Copies of this chain bind each other. A is one copy, B any other.
Amino acid sequence: MGIDELDGRIIVLLAREPRIGVLEMSRRLGVARGTVQARLDRLQSNGVIRGFGPQVDPAALGYPVTAFATLQIRQGQGADVRAHLATVPEVLELHTTTGSGDMLCRLVARSNADLQRVIDRVVGFDGIVRAATAIVMENPVPLRIIPLVEQAAEDSART
């Protein structure tokens, strides 16, 4: 577990310019092509790199409104609620958490008005006791991983 400095540079380079190929990467990094290829294979079988799926912007799809909902679940209904939420396309992710709520989910909607429909659909299920929703206004730090990768690579370098 963990990555070394070259792994880190590979990931960061790939994150900044996803379209470049293995050959071009090897040139930029100053290592042999086979090395980059082997590292990439290892990173993927390691699970460090899950894949290269397209990053789709919900806003561009017509869902410009994002919200986070904290759900309180009736005891023992967790599995049912999970299954229910998994069927709602507007539920982009779902976590079970410690703390006051029991679950936290990320929602998107076509508008603030449409958010009501989504929330109704989410909470319109027997096992959900209460829901608290926070609408996202700004997103100063979009989901990112590069700083963490650099941190992890640095940490391994010190070892």
Contacts and interface: CB of A to CB of B under 8 A. Distances in A.
Nearest to A106: B143
A89 B53 contact: no
22 contacts: A1-B60, A14-B54, A15-B54, A18-B52, A18-B54, A47-B60, A49-B57, A52-B52, A58-B145, A61-B148, A61-B149, A68-B95, A91-B141, A92-B141, A94-B139, A95-B140, A96-B136, A99-B132, A99-B133, A99-B134, A100-B132, A104-B136
B144 A93 contact: yes
Interface of A: 1-3, 11, 14-15, 18-19, 46-63, 66, 68, 82, 85-86, 88-101, 104-106, 108, 132-145, 147-152, 155
B47 A57 contact: yes
Given A61-B149, A148-B108, A96 B48 contact: no
A152 B62 contact: yes
Contacts of A53: 14-15, 18, 52, 55
Contact of A96 (B15, B133, B138, B149): B138
A95 to B, nearest CB: 4
B18 A46 contact: no
A136 B95 contact: yes
A56 B7 CA distance: 12
A114 to B, nearest CB: 12
